[in-house]
Amino acid sequence: MGQTQSDEEVRLADIQPLYIVFMKECPSGALHLHEFRKIFGIKSTSEDEVLFIETIFKSFDTNKDDVIDFMEFVAAVHLVLRGKLEDRLRWFFKVYDRDENGKLDKQEVKHIIKVRSGGGKCRKTLDMTHHEICDRIFDLIDENKDGQISLSEFLEGVQKDAWIMDMLKLDINASGWFNENWGKTT
């Protein structure tokens, strides 16, 4: 009793309208991958982008039943919209670690860069190739120079360098999409 909620927590008053909208969009109570792609406007058939959105979907499907139920959805909304930076970075790392070995290798980092740039050169680094961006990221983050980025190296490195943060942040514009699409239906 007497506890106050921080601004970081999802309030009950936020959950009730969210539940109503979730059930309108997903009457079965389950959000499937094809609905997830549709909701976020993912129309690309690029193999990399399809795999990337599947990886994001799976990261929210915590019980691994191939659907996102309402509780998983609330946890995802909370993380994306209100989560602490370190929690979001941990989630980014989980999404990027495609082989789930707890480390990022150069192939995984190149994949991130390729997906973020739409397959071409990065808009913000027009003079750099994916390979050069990846090498620069490893030079700045891979402290023990073992050719892999651990979670601790990732958390420290991304937070200390704005360029790295910009290159590696997961940008699905979830907050903009959520406010625009779900917010107006409540």
What is the value of pTM for the model shown? 0.71
The fold of 12-83+173-185 is Recoverin; domain 1 (1.10.238)
**Which residues 6+ apart lie within 8 Å of 83 measured at CB?**
8, 91
What's the pLDDT at 8? 42
Map out the domains of the chain as residue ranges: 12-83+173-185, 85-168
CB atoms within 10 A of CB 158: 24
What's the pLDDT at 87? 87
Task: Give 82-98 as a DSSP string.
Answer: I--HHHHHHHHHHHH-T
What's the pLDDT at 104? 96
Q: Could you check whether 12-83+173-185 and 85-168 share the same CATH topology?
A: yes
pLDDT digits (tens, 9 = 90+) for 40-95: 666 666 777 777 788 888 888 999 999 999 999 888 877 877 778 888 888 889 88
CATH number for the segment(s) 85-168: 1.10.238.10
Q: Which residue has the tokens 């903009």?
A: 176
As a whole number, the mean pLDDT across the chain is 79
Q: Which residue has the higher pLDDT, 74 or 12?
A: 74
DSSP code for 96 = H
Q: Which residue has the higher pLDDT, 151 or 164?
A: 151
Q: Which residue has the higher pLDDT, 95 or 3?
A: 95
pLDDT digits (tens, 9 = 90+) for 104-118: 999 999 888 887 766
What's the pLDDT at 7? 43
CB atoms within 10 A of CB 135: 15
Which structure tokens are listed for 141?
């983050």
